Amino acid sequence: MWHDVRMLNATTNTLLGLLVLSLLGSGLWWVAHRPMFTLKTIQVEGVGETQLRHVNASTVRTTAVPRIKGNFFTADLDAVRQAFEAVPWVRKAAIRREWPNKLIVQVEEHLPLATWGDEGKLVSVKGDIFTANLDEAEEDGALPEFAGPDGSEKEIVARYRELIEWFKPVSLVPESVQLSTRYAWTVKLNNGITVELGREQSKTTLKDRVDRLIGIYPQLVSRLQDKIESVDMRYPNGMALKAPGIKFAPDSKKAKR
């Protein structure tokens, strides 16, 4: 008999516990869905002291806000992050809640470095490909042009920075950097000269070829002024030069690379 009473008490306690949990869950659900927790403010800010240049209220309202569901408690922060990372110019977004009805969105914008290919895309200083308004990207001046095989973006960004340093002795700046499908490099400089550098056979191949060009560049300019159209540095012991009415190449028959 005592055994039966203990079993009954245990069952009763279990049922009471479930009832309390059910009531508690219902109460929390009721509280969580009160109007005071409806999202009223979405604050968008840059990372640290960085001011946002391209992400504005208009683009946020039209691109991100319609994709945000739920309230302060029920909004899926990962979904909110994805909504903001779909906004043009946004590289990364981090979301946090602020009591009782506010979301704070910290945004890292893409910093454009160059145009990419011929499809209207851009490449950032970190080597990310993204799509945005070209006029906005070139507010501070025309961007250089990059092109290369898929997956070569970061390699081209790194090479561009090296080329800037390599051409400094003659005060020239790369305006275009292209990597072919055969991984041959072509550079167009801000004086209009196209330089064929070819494939990188060793860690110093391209630097050696640029140094060779820089060594003779003052003589070329003094003789041809601004008439040079292209220079081919792929010859092992010389170069090929093209200018209006002039075409010069070394006698060497060795294959260019």
Model confidence, pTM: 0.81
In angstroms, the CA 224 to CA 248 distance is 13
In angstroms, the CA 84 to CA 139 distance is 23
Mean pLDDT value across the chain: 85
Query: Token pair of 227, please?
Result: 């008439």
pLDDT of 34: 45
The tens digit of pLDDT for each residue in 23-36 reads 334 433 434 444 45
pLDDT of 252: 53
User: Average pLDDT of 134-143?
Assistant: 95
Better-scored residue on pLDDT, 59 or 172? 172
Give yes or no for residue 15 having a pLDDT over 90: no
Better-scored residue on pLDDT, 252 or 92? 92
Question: Which range scores top for mean pLDDT: 28-32, 184-188, 215-219?
Answer: 184-188
pLDDT of 256: 60
Question: Could you tell me which of 70, 109, 75, 78 has the C-alpha nearest to residue 94?
Answer: 78
Q: SS3 sequence, 154-192? A: HHHHHHHHHHHHHCHHHCCCEEEEEECCCCEEEEEECCC
The tens digit of pLDDT for each residue in 54-69 reads 998 888 888 898 999 9
Better-scored residue on pLDDT, 140 or 254? 140
User: Average pLDDT of 79-84?
Assistant: 95
Structural contact between residues 55 and 107, judged by C-beta atoms closer than 8 angstroms = yes
Give yes or no for residue 10 having a pLDDT over 60: no
> Rounded to whole angstroms, what are the CA distances from 144 to 23, 128, 191?
64, 15, 13
User: Average pLDDT of 216-242?
Assistant: 89
Report the share of the chain in percent with pLDDT over 90: 61
**Can you say whether the dihedral through the CA atoms of 233, 235, 161, 147 is positive or negative?**
positive
Query: Token pair of 93, please?
Result: 């977004």
Q: Which residues of 168-181 are buried (b: 16+ CB within 10 A; e: fewer)?
A: eeeebebbbbbbee
- In 51-193, where does DSSP find H-type helix? 57-59, 77-85, 134-137, 153-166
pLDDT of 231: 96
pLDDT of 37: 59
Report the share of the chain in percent with pLDDT over 70: 81
E strand map for the chain: 41-46, 90-98, 102-109, 112-116, 121-124, 129-130, 145-147, 174-179, 184-189, 194-199, 230-232, 240-243, 246-248
pLDDT of 162: 98
User: Average pLDDT of 233-256?
Assistant: 75
pLDDT of 247: 66
